[in-house]
Amino acid sequence: MSANTSRPGPGEWEEAARLLSRTARDLPTGRHQHHKERLMAHIEQAQRARDTSPDPAKARRLRLPRPAIALPALAAAVAAAVIAGTASTGGNGDGPGRLATGPALTTQIGAASPDGVSRLLDQVSLVAAKDGHHPALEAGQYVYIESKAADTFVKTVDGKSSLASHALHKRQVWYSADGTKGWLIDPAVNDSPEGETLSLPDEQGNTPVAGLNHPSYDYLAKLPTDPDALLAKIYKETRGHGNSPDQEAFTTIGDLLGECYPPPALSKALFKAAARIPGVVTVNDAVDAVGRHGVAVARLDEKSGQREEWIFDTHTHVFLGQRSVQVGKAGGPEDLVKPGTVLFTSAVLRRAVVDDIKQVPAHTG
């Protein structure tokens, strides 16, 4: 931790805590952890700009104290203040790592159909169950996940709001089996190109218990692999969260498929469970963050107008990545977000088991 990192006063934290129960999960679909990290950075950037800079054009950039995986309540709470990635600053609005910004990300909205969902997810589940490149995690080892991601957000500078995007960038994360040790390198989050620790407990002594919203490998390995039992657990533990029970269940499964390392049997169960959620559709053409085209399994959040898409290779049915696309009219402070806007996009490039934090596996094949 940087010793000179200013902290919001007790009043700000009290207000953040008050917001937690009401809006902690009102984040762009499918990327709770990522957006909690982004939102935490925006909140602290705005706070520092207000407290230390008489000239808004010279607002200081802030370092995110710790990514959301190690902030059990706070990161979720402050997210409520800037739902959907809204950044309110007096400076250039760049992230902690001075990640370049550009115009909003857009796409052609792919046609959706309720037909073929079960068939596609059955094919995907069979591939997941036979994944021969998915070794079990042993004591002392770490999961390594490398991806590329970009996002669109509402940027407010000197009281004027517009849509902007963070450039496509590499994200690398390592975490231990129990989730108490880890490291993150992401220029959209970290102040230093070296990244920073995810290890627990944090500065306040918090060591959150693993769960659906912050799963460890050990936690995932103990989840039921019967699709009906798994889906029932997801509905039960996410009750009252999100915009609807079905959307929250779909989002939760998407989070477990993204920057996680579920055992093959659990991956199979997750896909089969997703097929049982009402409103799930297929999308004939979807593109991940690095331009790979595929077919998607998706669900539209009727309240936000956002469609979360899980993208798979059309021929091999291997999971490629995820994206959230605005397909309906957005309301409220997100009115600038028009249909066709890509709110978040990612591409998973590598998942592997390594022997140490910050170790990168050699490319094979």
pLDDT of residue 87: 46
What is the Cα–Cα distance from 149 to 172, expressed in whole angstroms?
11
Per DSSP (E only), the strands in 213-292 are 281-287
pTM over 0.85: no
Task: Return the residue matching tokens 């050699």.
Answer: 362
Task: Read off the pLDDT of residues 68-100 as tens digits, 9 standing for 90 and up.
Answer: 322 332 333 333 333 334 444 433 444 555 688
Residue 262 C-beta-side C-alpha neighbours within 13 Å = 27
What is the Cα–Cα distance from 171 to 146, expressed in whole angstroms?
6
Q: How far lies 324's CA from each of 33, 43, 55, 151, 297, in Å?
A: 14, 22, 36, 9, 12
pLDDT of residue 333: 58
pLDDT tens over the chain, length 365 residues:
322 222 333 333 333 333 333 333 333 333 444 444 444 444 444 444 444 433 333 322 222 222 232 233 233 333 333 333 444 443 344 455 568 889 999 999 999 999 999 999 999 999 999 877 789 999 899 999 999 999 998 888 898 989 999 999 999 999 999 999 999 999 988 889 999 999 988 778 888 889 998 899 999 999 999 999 999 999 999 999 999 999 999 999 999 998 999 999 999 999 999 999 999 999 999 999 999 999 999 999 999 999 999 999 999 999 999 999 999 987 665 678 999 999 999 999 999 999 999 999 987 65
Spatial CA neighbour of 312 closest among 260, 347, 274: 347
pLDDT of residue 58: 30
pLDDT of residue 67: 28
Longest alpha-carbon distance in the chain? 60
Contact criterion met (CB below 8 Å) for 28 and 38:
no
